[in-house]
Amino acid sequence: MKKVIFTLSLLVAAMIGMNAYAQEVGANGPVITIDKEVHDYGTMEQGGNGECVFTVTNTGNEPLLIQMCKGSCGCTVPSCPVEPIAPGATSTIKVKYDTNRVGPINKTVTITSNATNEPSKMIRIKGNIVAKPTEGGTTTPTN
């Protein structure tokens, strides 16, 4: 029994050591870190400001190159940096949603980069757009 416990403890120690080594190796190269995964607009009136910003930091040790940003539909338009993001530096991804569309928002932006941790990263926007009040001061429900 003592031999089994000793063998298992050696195996666990070896696995922990290999995991630490794998994390250390994975830290080389560009690493994308974003300040938030989701931007929640909350409830917004039709025609409101549909712009939001995500802050991107390169926590790696080589320049981060964002090759493409693509919205999940034509109503979600991202604007991504074209210049390399140096190690330790930050940049922004701006997303504009067409708030003339009434109803719930649940859209994604896919970021493609040379990041070693997540070469394809998705961020999301959500919220609800309500119709502008009519001249009489009432709002027509859209759901």
β-strands 32-34, 103-113 pairing: unpaired
Nearest in space to 125 (alpha carbons), one of 23, 38, 66: 38
Residue bearing the bigger pLDDT, 17 or 107: 107
Whole-number percent of the chain with pLDDT over 70: 76
Count Cβ neighbours within 10 Å for each residue of 74-107 and write b for 16 or more, e otherwise. eebbbebbeebbebeeebebebbbebeebeebeb
Going by pLDDT thresholds of 50, 70 and 90, the confidence category of residue 49 is very high
The token duo for 94 is 């701006």
Q: What is the mean pLDDT of residues 120-130?
A: 98
Nearest in space to 114 (alpha carbons), one of 68, 65, 69, 70: 65
Domains with residue ranges and CATH for the chain: 30-130 (2.60.40.10)
Q: Model-level pTM?
A: 0.74
pLDDT digit string, tens, across residues 126-142: 999 999 988 765 555 55
